[in-house]
Amino acid sequence: EPEVTQTPSHQVTQMGQEVILRCVPISNHLYFYWYRQILGQKVEFLVSFYNNEISEKSEIFDDQFSVERPDGSNFTLKIRSTKLEDSAMYFCASSDERWAFFGQGTRLTVV
Partner 1 sequence: DQQVKQNSPSLSVQEGRISILNCDYTNSMFDYFLWYKKYPAEGPTFLISISSIKDKNEDGRFTVFLNKSAKHLSLHIVPSQPGDSAVYFCAASRMNNAGNMLTFGGGTRLMVKP
Q: How many amino acids of this chain bind partner 1 (CB under 8 A)?
A: 28
- From 1, 110, 111, 93, select the one nearest 44 (Cα to Cα): 93
DSSP state of 72: S
Give yes or no for residue 13 binding partner 1 (CB under 8 A). Answer: no
Give yes or no for residue 25 binding partner 1 (CB under 8 A). Answer: no
Whole-angstrom Cα distance, residue 59 to residue 9? Answer: 25
Of the ranges 13-21, 49-57, 63-71, 78-86, which one interacts with partner 1 (CB under 8 A)? 49-57
x-marked contacts with partner 1 along 89-108 as a string, rule CB under 8 A: --x-x-x-xxxxxxxxx-x-
4: Cβ–Cβ under 8 A, 6 or more apart, which residues?
Answer: 23, 24, 25, 26, 92, 93, 94, 101, 102, 103
CB of 44 to partner 1, least distance (A): 7
Of 19 and 91, the one with the shorter C-beta distance to partner 1 is 91
